[in-house]
A and B are shown apart, each in its own frame.
Chain A
């Protein structure tokens, strides 16, 4: 189990190692971690901490993408969850009530997406687009158009506090990642989700309740987005309906793609996606630490996606397979062949 996971995430670990070494090259003190004022300090901790929202989003997004779907609404859901938490807490309730309310809002958004996709059979891009467009408007409605600030210690602790010296966001995403990985990998759930992504009709005919599973993955995605939204709001002690989670859906998708998960659905690895999120954050860190203008951030990200797309594309994979087969060396494993299925685009029955 652990051996196969390790083999699966080797490329991601290598990339992460290279990016971290680049960090070290531009900033020699990168790996030093200090313990001051009862909390850990250091650039490495920063990468883990700042990467928390994208890491959380990538957990839900991995499951959604494994079903051949996509969730564009996570950024807007983050804004909604942050707004709900802020408005509950300024209304006088405790931080735990606020957290529960925000999570409930996230689940509600996930349910909406899931019903559109699973029951009404709307393509995922379009179904989640509705909430992406309307979601920020709803968040604005909750915060009444202004940045809603709050001073509740408990809620702020979720984003800026520490538990035993470790920043809370790190613990939250690690816990969530472990929990979801255990649930999908120690039961048949993960395999059933993969089967929907490979061929939904066939899985349904084989007796898999694809509707319930589809709704579930969008619920998980909404839940993760709500957690991320609460963290981001708690970090700045305020809910910003316009900017909270802006572009985050793209970073989350990028993390999943860097994690080597196919956008065409099927086999997935949450660990790899989390590593993908850390890679993105480390790249951001290199750009900041090296003093390069942050304007290059997007260009570099774009180039990374394009390179990964080329490597992932069925055509290139097929060509590589032929190359290896004709060379007569190591026989390509069946796992990779399975993913070579030439499917030019999504065709729903």
Chain B
């Protein structure tokens, strides 16, 4: 474990500030509130997904199904609004119910069948993507006046940036997640589970309830991200958001959360999302770079932060005295 769990967070913050400074020095207009507002709007669905992913990774697990859940949510909403006359809010509630139940089912399988989260969520990924295909293989447009209302809600900053509703939902998610993780018993249980599952069990952490809760939260947030994505694109398409789970994992890692679980902050994930958004914005501003550079740079950042975690872990464990090491390693 690391001596200061906040160190990776500071490094992420420094990376973000440095990247932003470099961008701003080349393109001064990057400092405008329009860019900042778009950064929040364009990454809202990814940001919300990454909150759920942070919970899962903090507990030492991984969730590969979120991208498919978002696609399923979009198609589900589009189809249900096209074929029935129920109000979008009812559809939202229905969808969140389905995705939370789906997450809880995944969590139960992981806990009770003692299977690795990786393969269980992989099955979930196939299932949700398949269900999205079954609902519709076409891109289904959403034309409901309520959607127009939702898209019309924004706060206009004095210098022209429009902070839209979905960006606000994302920020709200982060605030609530911080409170849950740091101010509730459930949050402490998540950290305990990720630190060492055996110790957590001996300490009396309800493993079953916590595991199921974590995956239910991840599923529910992926559903919420699906709602946000459908507001963002006004459509549902079963082939959309392929690979979002990897972007979300990358954001969590770049945010300084330890992939083995037990150490990390939601705030770091937020910075990770902003860094990834910044790379895309820079490529748009540059105009000559191709979009595949995004993947290479994100891959590079991912590698750098994994190495950083390894280096920090190594540097702090070797200096420790043997007696302490014996006591802290199970």
Using CB atoms and an 8 Å cutoff, list the residues of chain A in contact with chain B: 70, 116, 120-123, 125-127, 129-138, 140-141, 145, 241, 250, 253, 257, 263-264, 293, 295-303, 305-306, 309-310, 312-316, 342-346, 348
**Residue B296 lies at the interface, judged by CB distance under 8 Å to chain A:** yes
Contact call A298/B295, Cβ cutoff below 8 A: no
Contact call A129/B249, Cβ cutoff below 8 A: yes
Contact call A305/B116, Cβ cutoff below 8 A: no
Distance of A343 Cα from B123 Cα, bound (Å): 21
Q: How far is the CB of B128 from chain A (nearest CB, A)?
A: 8
Specify which of B134, B298, B302 is in contact with A295 (CB 8 Å cutoff): B134
Give me 21 A-to-B residue pairs in the complex whose CB atoms sit less than 8 angstroms apart, sorted by A's number: A116-B306, A120-B307, A121-B310, A129-B246, A132-B246, A133-B298, A133-B299, A145-B290, A293-B134, A297-B130, A298-B126, A298-B127, A298-B133, A300-B130, A305-B119, A306-B123, A309-B119, A313-B113, A314-B113, A315-B112, A344-B197
Residues of A contacting B: mostly: helix
Complex interface residues of chain B between 79 and 136 (CB less than 8 A to chain A): 109, 112-120, 122-127, 129-131, 133-134
Q: Which residues of A contact B155 (CB under 8 A)?
A: none
Contact call A145/B292, Cβ cutoff below 8 A: yes
Closest chain A residue to B201 by CB distance?
Answer: A344
Contact call A125/B62, Cβ cutoff below 8 A: yes
Distance of A295 Cα from B306 Cα, bound (Å): 37
Contact call A313/B302, Cβ cutoff below 8 A: no
Q: Number of contacting residues on B, CB 8 A? A: 45
Contact call A303/B127, Cβ cutoff below 8 A: yes
Q: Which residues of A contact B116 (CB under 8 A)?
A: 263-264, 345-346
Closest chain A residue to B207 by CB distance?
Answer: A344
Specify which of A137, A250, A303 is in contact with B294 (CB 8 Å cutoff): A137
Q: Which residues of A contact B114 (CB under 8 A)?
A: 313-315, 342-344
Q: Which residues of A contact B131 (CB under 8 A)?
A: 299
Contact call A140/B126, Cβ cutoff below 8 A: no
Q: How far is the CB of A109 from chain B (nearest CB, A)?
A: 12
Closest chain A residue to B117 by CB distance?
Answer: A345
**Residue B259 lies at the interface, judged by CB distance under 8 Å to chain A:** yes
Identify the interface centre among B119, B250, B310: most chain A CB within 10 Å of its CB.
Answer: B119
**Residue B303 lies at the interface, judged by CB distance under 8 Å to chain A:** yes
Contact call B129/A298, Cβ cutoff below 8 A: yes
Q: How far is the CB of B253 from chain A (nearest CB, A)?
A: 7
Closest chain A residue to B196 by CB distance?
Answer: A347
Contact call B113/A126, Cβ cutoff below 8 A: no
Q: Which residues of A contact B112 (CB under 8 A)?
A: 315
Distance of A183 Cα from B125 Cα, bound (Å): 35
Q: How far is the CB of B276 from chain A (nearest CB, A)?
A: 11
Using CB atoms and an 8 Å cutoff, list the residues of chain B in contact with chain A: 60, 62, 109, 112-120, 122-127, 129-131, 133-134, 137, 197, 246, 249-250, 253, 259-260, 290, 292-296, 298-300, 302-303, 306-307, 310
Residue pairs across A and B with CB atoms within 8 Å: the count is: 131
Known A134-B299, A141-B296; further 11 A-B contacts with Cβ < 8 A: A137-B293, A138-B296, A145-B290, A264-B116, A296-B134, A297-B130, A298-B130, A299-B126, A302-B126, A309-B123, A346-B116
Distance of A130 Cα from B305 Cα, bound (Å): 11
Contact call A133/B113, Cβ cutoff below 8 A: no
Contact call B292/A136, Cβ cutoff below 8 A: yes
Q: Which residues of B contact A138 (CB under 8 A)?
A: 296
Contact call A120/B296, Cβ cutoff below 8 A: no
Identify the interface centre among A298, A313, A344: most chain B CB within 10 Å of its CB.
Answer: A298
Contact call A137/B133, Cβ cutoff below 8 A: no
Q: How far is the CB of A3 from chain B (nearest CB, A)?
A: 31
Q: Which residues of A contact B249 (CB under 8 A)?
A: 129
Q: Which residues of A contact B124 (CB under 8 A)?
A: 302
Contact call B259/A123, Cβ cutoff below 8 A: yes
Contact call B130/A137, Cβ cutoff below 8 A: no
Distance of A195 Cα from B125 Cα, bound (Å): 31
Q: Which residues of A contact B133 (CB under 8 A)?
A: 295-299
Given A137-B296, A137-B299; A125-B115 close (CB under 8 Å) = no
Contact call A140/B119, Cβ cutoff below 8 A: no
Q: How far is the CB of A197 from chain B (nearest CB, A)?
A: 13
Distance of A10 Cα from B272 Cα, bound (Å): 49
Contact call A136/B122, Cβ cutoff below 8 A: no
Given A122-B306, A126-B306, A344-B114; A134-B134 close (CB under 8 Å) = no
Specify which of A129, A298, A301, A312 is in contact with B302 (CB 8 Å cutoff): A129
Identify the interface centre among A138, A264, A293, A305: most chain B CB within 10 Å of its CB.
Answer: A305
Distance of A343 Cα from B307 Cα, bound (Å): 27
